[in-house]
Amino acid sequence: MIKTTKKLKTTPAKTEVNKALPAKAETEKVFAAKPAVAKPVEAQLIPASKPTPIQAPVVLERKAAPKNVVSFQLVKPEAKSVAVAGSFNEWKPEATPLVSLGNGRWKGDLNVKPGRHEYLFVVDGQWLPDPNAKESVANPFGGTNSVLIVSA
């Protein structure tokens, strides 16, 4: 038996596509439908025996150990300000003020390069040699400078 087919005006590919798509009215109904509402989930609380502390990340820095740190100390109960100036800081007292420790004691720590250095304390604007210096030399201003030797 032979079947005859009648040709349609549209091609079979277009017909299949048209059949796959819903009609315009149906499409509008689909998009107009209300969105589904999610059901709430019941949370479970688990009591903790101890609160966990929040820790900041640990940052490790490797700092070079200070080399040739010299501690300058002076006892001057009447002093209002004390600094040290010498060949190690270009004779600038403002570069190295000492800190009052109370009871007339003053102290300052300074990183000094190895070598032989001359210095003076500057107490309330007056330049004075270190009374505890092991060595001193005459300076060009008619006074004496204290000598500090820093080994490598």
Domains in the chain and their CATH numbers? 69-150 (2.60.40.10)
**Residues 126-135 pLDDT 10s:** 999 999 999 9
Q: Are 95 and 87 in contact (CB under 8 A)?
A: no
Give per-residue pLDDT as tens, 72-86.
Answer: 999 999 999 999 999
**48: β partners:** none
Which pTM does this prediction carry?
0.57
Average pLDDT value for the chain = 77
Q: What does the buried/exposed string (b/e) look like for 115-130 if buried means 16 or more CB atoms within 10 Å of the residue's CB?
A: eebbbbbbbeeeebbb
Segment 41-64 shows an average pLDDT of: 58
Spatial CB neighbours of 146, under 8 Å, sequence gap ≥ 6: 118, 119, 120, 129, 130, 133, 135, 136
- Mean pLDDT (whole number) for 10-30: 50
